[in-house]
Amino acid sequence: MKSHRLLLSAVVLMSISTLVFAQTDTQKSNAQKSFDKLKTLAGSWKGHVTTLPPEPSIEGKLTQVSFRVTSMGNTLMHEMTMGGRPDDPITMLYLDGDRLLLTHYCDAGNRPRMVGKTSSDGKTVEFDFLDVAGGTEYGHMHHAVFTVIDANHHTEDWTYMMPGDKPVHAHVDLQRTK
């Protein structure tokens, strides 16, 4: 009889813990869910960039991207290097209350911020321009989209606003290397 009560107690406790974890997941904000999805990109990636209109300095170049979860899981660092370029821009993704933010430390010398939102299927996180710190005389990054295709494949779309508000769109189709 005592073993039946112990078994019943264990089953009840497991049911309650399952319910608590399920409620916790459903209580996550869309920003938190988006951030968790982007953190699955941690690792190294490579692919080629295409631009519209064609930008000869980067068109077709091999691009390497690394994602690293840092700051005790509170920040995702994105670093992109491209063949022949002397430097690499850094992008930090993080939660700010109920918002998912992106700050891009641009090689144009400024720091645009963007706010993320997730598509209804949960595979795409799109970042819209919020503001920029630093000068924009050389242009600034204005929009970014991350689409997770599967565990080893994702795409990135970046829109750079040239002086005079002329957009250049860059698309990178990336495969995981590790």
pLDDT for residue 27:
75
Question: Domain for residue 1, yes or no?
Answer: no
The single residue listed with the structure tokens 């063949």 is 83
**How many C-beta atoms lie closer than 10 Å to residue 8's C-beta?**
10
Cα–Cα distance measured from residue 28 to residue 49, given in angstroms and rounded to the nearest whole number? 34
Residue partners of 159: CB distance under 8 A and separation at least 6: 141, 142, 143, 144, 167, 168, 169, 170
pLDDT for residue 123:
94
| 64 neighbors 132 (Cβ within 8 angstroms) | no
Mean pLDDT per 10-residue interval, the chain, length 178 residues: 47 41 64 96 97 92 96 97 82 97 95 96 96 96 98 98 95 97
CATH number at residue 139: 2.40.128.20
Instruction: Identify the domain containing residue 74 by its residue range.
Output: 30-176
Question: Domain for residue 21, yes or no?
Answer: no
pLDDT for residue 17:
41
